[in-house]
Structure formats: structure tokens, C-alpha cells
Amino acid sequence: MSDIDQLLSKSAADRYLKREILGEGTYGVVYKAIDTKTRRIVAIKKIRLGKYKEGVNFTALREIKLLKELQDPNIIELIDTFTDKGSLNLVFEFMESDLEAVIRDRNIVLSPSDTKSYLQMTLKGLAYCHKKWVLHRDMKPNNLLIAADGQLKLADFGLARIFGSPDRRFTHQVFARWYRAPELLFGAKQYGSGVDVWATGCIFAELLLRRPFLQGSSDIDQLGKIFAAFGTPTPSQWLDMVFLPEYVEYQIVPAPPLRSLFPMASDDALDLLSKMFTYDPKARISAQQALEHRYFSTVPAPTKPALLPRPPPKGDSLNSKPSDFNLEGPVELKYAHSIRFGIFGLRTPRTILSRIFQIQWSIADVGFEWPFTGSALQLQTVNRHSTTEQSLRRLKMLDINLFREDKGNNPDRIRESQRRRFSNVEIVDEIIRLDKEWRQRQFEFDNLRKNFNKINKEVARLKIAGEDATEMIKSTDENKQLTAKKEAEVQDARAALYSKLETVGNLVHDSVPVNNDEANNQVIRTCGEKRVEPKLRNHVELVELLGLADLKRGADVAGGRGFYLKGDGVLLNQALINFGLEFLRKRNYTPLQTPFFMKKDVMAKCAQLAQFDEELYKVTGEGDDKYLIATAEQPLCAFHVDDWMHPSQLPIRYAGYSTCFRKEAGSHGRDTLGIFRVHQFEKVEQFCITSPNGNDSWDMHEEMIKNSEDFYKELNIPYQIVAIVSGALNDAAAKKYDLEGWYPASQTYRELVSCSNCTDYQSRKLEIRYGQKKSNEQVKQYVHLLNSTLTATERTICCILENYQKEDGVNIPEALQPYMGGRKEILFQTSPTPEAKGKKSKA
């Protein structure tokens, strides 16, 4: 070291006056110190260089480098560095406590708002690290430090690394075992930000339980603890698991309900936990996505950092004198009687450090009451928010605010849309009336709740002062009865409002032709040369002559409209599927094969009530009833249920592939022959998600119908595009196009494609939200959902057969030949009789 360097180091060392030791570890000591220049209290981590080869601690140097680049309110600040007497000194901002101390301190009562606040700050710091391509790799409560102003900050970046390169390999021996992700326990050398998110999920669980969640004694035991909590993962859940270096097969253990592990957590908290504990790291939620989860946007709001409960500062006596009692702010309460919190299962000692009134308000917000029993406070759960607009928001489709003039909206838009649909217009005025009644009752209910809290505060004051609170407790009982009665009124009013609201369809787009007869659908354009010849065979006859299906045996086995595809019928069907998926993949669509059935409550968010009777097959068995899907659109809708979609994610394009099942109850006697209208068919579906802004979804609507047009141009099928009249739109669609293919045997166009823009009508019911609601925005936004058939394969086969028929069979469309082994034709298996040629079947 040069003389100048020595002088600078000595100067820096003299600047800081070390006081007591805050902590001591294997490689160094942490001191509380004072910056004599600024009088600021700081923390100094003193690392002994002599313990390292060549006197260099590369871990410390790496931490210094990263912290100089990471500047964020939720990352600890590195103020200075200097060497002194063979040691490297890192000067940090002083942090009074850490999250581990908060969790372990039984004098602290954490409200749901407090837990939410601590988790939010943790995720903010982590999301910033990941944005800067830094993995922390040592997330645990005692590395989450808490400042005097309540701000939580990520610290200890000794194990942190830059990530991002797909070939970068790391050690899997990182994190404390209890916070180690399963991929690390299986020896993964290549991993990303998911390992930090898993550890943060463990911290979240620890905040909820007030104890470490998964406490394994070895790596194998840790995996056992994880599998006991979440079930043993299968390759279908986590495809890459079996390829990890230290993977071993475990006994299959079913996952217990998450609610059984966290009985007092809210539904939103459980949903976020499940996403943080997803086994497949590729599917695990990111830190930024977690911040955008509805858990943070629903009541109660996160506690402001300055109001969060904290243990006494490091270095201060735990027996320091409590501050004066202050009804206006956070209090440090010395109370002669024990206070019992039934919900947390603990008794506090005579001295309790809490913000009792702030906690009372936070807990009331999420459904807790404080009835007094003798000298103890007992928390009891109530169904508080069953009456709020939050629950109504989950049920509705059209935004209720559209009916409210006081929100700057014009209900005439809805009235005009109803007229265009040839639906009930008076229902709009009825909904407005019911909405006013519901809001008035909700206002009265909220006032009763506020009064209830005021009475509780007064009871608390009287109890603390040793005065008689009998009359006030009596008032509490009376208020509870009034509140319960009013809550029932709110529920009834909400139910009446919802029953009417769900009958109103989406707002019809101005470009939709207004008519109530599908015969008047507007032809937008036609394409292709129609084949017009006498005595052409129809698709029913062609299917039989070509031996593509066995309809008789199908009907014997499955009933009416049942069939077996066979021989070239199977190959032609599969060729259409493969061609369709490849066609969309080239246009940036992600293929997605969907489930064949859905739970009733999920299906109810994706299908209209009429569909349950006319289209959907019910599947019964053990557990809940399920419904077979009528279209891939239904499970595709539900794929992102309850998700927050960041603007950078959009648009999303899915190529859905599924077998579909329809009762066809409303088509009795129509198309009973052949495979044109059947109970079971294959389908390739376009499903797109866009932002709700500008013309994004309308531009996508045009793009999707063009994709379908290009697909049928490739097949050389003549078609026409029609705009469906307003009276024929389903409730969800704001506008719909049909692509109708030409069927030369019947000399008519018939529907092959249906392409709809449902705007935010479905996404509201599914809670698929857009971006994050800003403080200056009145309402949150929802993504727009669009769907369009690419091919319903059996129906497309019928159209191909009629357009490509020849004297001794049919030609195979050139686009499908690569998927049919290069074959160019399918020949008749039986010779048609002269009478059969041109015979009209009911097709």
C-alpha cells in the first residue's frame, strides 16, 4: 500500500467512531458506529483479510461491486469502504432491526396489513435486483433489515451473482436450507430468479405462521418437508425435474389443501403463495408479477412503513421505559391485564408493545371484531366483505360503473346497445335503481362499522383507565345486532342487482349491422372461384364412398351423431390439425392443448347460462361436477384467471387445440347425417389477449379474421366474410365475423369460422387485469379477450371433400399433402351407383 493509500485509509478509519458490537460471524464483526463528520449512525462490517489467500476476500469485493450499482429504496445503502489494520471495512446505513426479529417477537402482533407491507417491500427490492440481472441467493428474514422509518431493505449480497446468460453455471449450495428451492435441492447448476422467489414465498409463509415454514434437517429431509406441504411433483407439473443432477424419485404424496396449512390467510394470499411455490421454475411467478398480484390491491391496504410494528432497536435495552400513552398515534401500551388474541393463539405478557388501535382498524377491514369478554380481548372472524363491491366485481361482466352517471358515464350507451341487441332496454333503469339501493345500504352498513370501531376504542380506553365499561359494552352488542341486520340487507340488495346485471350483454360496436335476422348478415367480402357444376356429390355421400368414417357403428356405440373416423379420415383430420398448428406457430402463436373438462365454477365464468342447457355435457363422479368443453375458447379463457397482465406481456397469442363436445340440443333435426354437425370434434382455435387501450383489440380482431382467411386461401376453399347482425350476437361479443366456406353440392356458404372481440366482458368475470391501478385512476383496467376458430376439422373436411371431389375420389389440398405422406388423392373404396351420383342427402 502506498503512503497516500495509507493516509486515506487512516483518515477514513478515524472518521468513524465504533460503539457496541451488533453481531459477530465467521469472517468478521458488525459494529454500530457514528460518522463523526455527519453525526450519522452507521453500521460497519469489519472483515479480517488475513483469513483469506493473498489477503483478498473476493466475496466482500463482489458485494461492494454489486451494491455500488444497486441504488434502490429497498436495497441497503453502502456508504463507504476502507481498509484498516489488515481488515476491510464496509460502511452501511444503520438498520435498527431485521424481519427475523419481528417474526420471533411475541410481543408484536402482525395484522394482515402489516404482513402485506413487509412482503411488498421485500418483493420491491427483489424485483429491482432481478431487473438489474442480480440473483440474491440468500433471501431469509435476518437478511431483510428494517430502518428507523420502517423501510425494509435487502442486505448481505455476499452470495449474489449476475445472471442472464443461458450457459452460466452456478453452485446449488446457496441459501439457508429452509429457504432453498427444490431445483437447488436436486442439484441444479443453471437457474434463474425463481430461486429467490421460492425463498421469498418461504418468508411470506413465515410471516403468516410466525415460525419457519419448512424446517428440514438435511437436503433430503427438506425435500420431504416440501413434498408433504405441496404434494410430490410429477413430470407433467415439472418436465425438467427428472434431468436434474441429483434427482431421485420420491413416493407420491398428494398435496393437502393450502388452506389447511394457512387457515387464517385470505384467498388472495393463498393464491399468491401457490404461485410462489410452483414447482416448475419456468412457471413460477416473478417478483414483478407478484407485486402486480391482486393480493396487494385488495383491502386491507399495506400498512405504511412508519406505522409498522418493530422490536426495540439493536443495541438498545429491551426494558427501556415505554412512551406516554397517545390516543392519536401508535402507542406503547403498559396494561395490567393480559390481552388474549384468539386468532393468533397467544397470550401477551403484562407489557405489550403494539399499536392496538391501528391494529384494530386493520383487522376490522379484513373481517375481525373486538368484543370484550371480561378483561380479555377476543378476536372473532366474520364474513365482512361478502357485501362489498369487491365481491360484486367478481360476479359482474359489464362494469357497474358504466351505469353510474356520477362516475362520468352515460347509461344511454348501454340503452342503445340493448336496442341494437333487440333486448330489454328497461333493464338499464332497473339496474340503476338497484345499484343506488345497494350503495345506500352499503353506506349505512359502513357507518355502523365505523361506529362499532369508535365504541371499541372507547371501551379500550375505559378498560385501560380502570373505569366501568358496562354501558359501552352494551352499546357494542346493540351495534352488532344492527350491523348484522344491515349486512343481510346489503347482501339481498347485491343479489338483486347481480341477477339483473348478468342479463345485460356486452356493448355492441358501432360497426355492427343492426338487425335481428341472421339472414341479413352483412357480406364484407368474398374470395375464390366457386365451383358450380351439376350433380356434385355432397359431403355425406363422399365420406361414405371414401370410407373416412363409420357412422353406423358410431351411432350404435355413442348414439345419434356418433361416429368413428377411420383410415384416411383419421389421417386427413390429423393433417388439418398439424397444418393449423404450424400455420399459427409461424404467426407467433403459442400452441396450447387444453383440458377436456372444467370445474363448474370456472366454466360459469367462461360460458353463458344458456350453454349449460343447450351445449355442455356434465361429467359426474367423485368430488365436484365437471363439464366437457364445447370449444377450446372456454379453457383458454380460464388459463389466465386472476392474473395481472403487464403491458410488456401483451399481446398474447395462443393456438388452442382440443377435442370439443356439444349436445347440439338446439339443432334437433338439422344436419343429422355425416360429420358436419356432431357431438365430438377437433378444433384449432385462435385466442388472443390485448391491452384495453386505443384500437389494440380491434386491430387484433382484424388480424385474426385475416389469419383465418389466409388459412382457407392456403386450402383453396372459396369463402365469404360476413359481419353478424346485432340481434344474433352472444352476450360476450361486441362484434363478430363469420367465415363461411362454399359447399358446391348444396350451392351455399356455410359457417367454418367464428371470430369475436369480447373486449373486457369475459376478463372482468375472470379477473384478468391489465397493468396496475395507479393512485390517480378511478377504476382498474381489464385486458381484452378475442377468440376465432381456425378450423373445426370435421366440418372443414366436409368442405374440402365437396370442393376437391372428382370422378373417382377427391384430391388432397396441396397445403395438406406434406402431412399426408406426400399423397395427392384419396380414391373411392366403393364404386358409386349411377343413381347415387348427385343424390341429395340431408346434409
Digit-coded pLDDT (tens) for 761-793: 999 888 899 986 554 555 678 999 999 999 999
Do residues 575 and 672 both lie within one domain? yes
Residues 157 and 36 in one domain: no
Q: Which residue has the higher pLDDT, 630 or 736?
A: 736
Query: Looking at per-residue confidence, does 442 or 310 come out higher?
Result: 442
Look up the CATH number of the domain holding residue 153: 1.10.510.10
| Strand, helix or coil for residue 205 | helix
Bridge-based pairing of strands 549-550 and 564-565 is: antiparallel
26 annotated ligand binder? yes
Q: Is 33 helix (H, G, I), strand (E, B) or coil?
A: strand
Query: What is the per-residue pLDDT for 838?
Result: 47
Q: Answer yes or no: is 322 within a domain.
A: no
Contact 191, 184 (CB under 8 A): yes
Whichever domain contains 69, its CATH number is 3.30.200.20
Residue 842 has pLDDT above 80, yes or no: no
Omega prior to 302 cis, within 30 of 0: no
CA-CA distance, 769 to 643, in Å (whole number)? Answer: 6
Rounded average pLDDT over 650-660 = 94
- Residues 6 or more apart whose CB falls under 8 angstroms from that of 813 comprise 714, 715, 716, 800, 804
Active site residue 550: no
Assign 598 to helix, strand or coil: strand
Is 580 assigned a ligand-binding role in the annotation? no
Strands 652-661 and 590-593: parallel
Same domain (yes/no): 33, 131: no
Return mean pLDDT, the chain: 82
Domain assignment present for 355:
yes
Count of other CB atoms within 10 angstroms of residue 351: 12
**Which pLDDT score, from 0 to 100, does residue 21 have?**
85
Asked if residue 228 and residue 104 are part of one domain, the reply reads yes
Task: Give this prediction's pTM.
Answer: 0.55
Residue 835 lies in a domain: no
Decide if 324 is inside a domain.
no
* pLDDT (mean) for 229-244: 92
613 has pLDDT over 50: yes
Query: Where is pLDDT greater, at 664 or 315?
Result: 664
CB of 445 within 8 A of CB of 439? no
114, 138, 365, 568: which is the annotated catalytic residue? 138
Confidence category of residue 823, pLDDT binned at 50, 70, 90: very high
Asked if the model's pLDDT at residue 374 lies above 70, the reply is: no
Contact 320, 269 (CB under 8 A): no
Domain tally for the chain?
4
- Does 367 carry a binding-site annotation? no
**Using one digit for the tens of pLDDT, what is the confidence trace for 716-765?**
999 999 999 999 999 999 999 999 999 999 999 999 999 999 999 999 88
Query: Between these two residues, 690 and 51, which has the higher pLDDT value?
Result: 690
Does residue 511 lie in a domain region?
A: no
Could you tell me if residue 310 is inside a domain?
no
Average pLDDT over residues 60-81: 91
Same domain, 57 and 102: no
- Cα(674)–Cα(780) distance, rounded to whole angstroms? 49
Domain span including residue 776: 522-827
Least confident of 129-133, 288-292, 341-345, 727-731: 341-345
Task: Kindly report the CATH number assigned to the domain that includes residue 458.
Answer: 1.10.287.40
Grade residue 389 by pLDDT with cuts at 50, 70 and 90.
very low
46 annotated binding-site participant:
yes
Q: Between 676 and 141, name the one with better pLDDT.
A: 141
Residue 22, marked binder: yes
593 and 579 share a domain?
yes
Q: Any binding-site annotation on 735?
A: no
Residues 384 and 533 in one domain: no
Q: Which three cell numbers stand for residue 476?
A: 357494542
Domain boundary pick from 28, 61, 93: 93
Domain boundary among 93, 114, 145: 93
Write down the pLDDT at residue 372. 32
Nearest to 742 by CA among 703, 786, 712: 712
30 is in an annotated binding site: yes
639 and 778 share a domain? yes
187 CB-contact burial (10 Å; exposed 0-12 / middle 13-18 / buried 19+) = middle
Given 93, 113, 139, the domain boundary residue is 93
User: Residues 649-660: what's their mean pLDDT?
Assistant: 93
Residue type at 8 in one-letter notation: L
Lowest-confidence segment of 383-392, 484-493, 503-512 by average pLDDT: 383-392
pLDDT of residue 621: 73
- The answer on 103 and 87 residing in a single domain is no
Q: Are residues 351 and 435 in the same domain?
A: yes
Q: How confident is the model at residue 610 (pLDDT cuts 50, 70, 90)?
A: low
Q: Is 45 annotated as belonging to a binding site?
A: yes
Q: Rounded to whole angstroms, how far apart are CA atoms 581 and 819?
A: 12
CA 225 to chain centre: 26
- 737 labelled ligand-binding: no
Residues 106 and 151 in one domain: yes
CA distance 230 to 202: 13
Identity at 819, one-letter amino acid code = Y
Q: Is residue 320 part of a domain?
A: no
Q: Are residues 77 and 108 in the same domain?
A: no
3-state secondary structure 781-812: EECEEEEEEEEEHHHHHHHHHHHHEECCEEEC
Q: What is the pLDDT of residue 690?
A: 96
Residue 138 lies in a domain: yes
Q: Say if residues 677 and 670 touch (Cβ distance below 8 Å).
A: yes
The answer to whether 88 and 47 are in contact (CB under 8 A) is yes
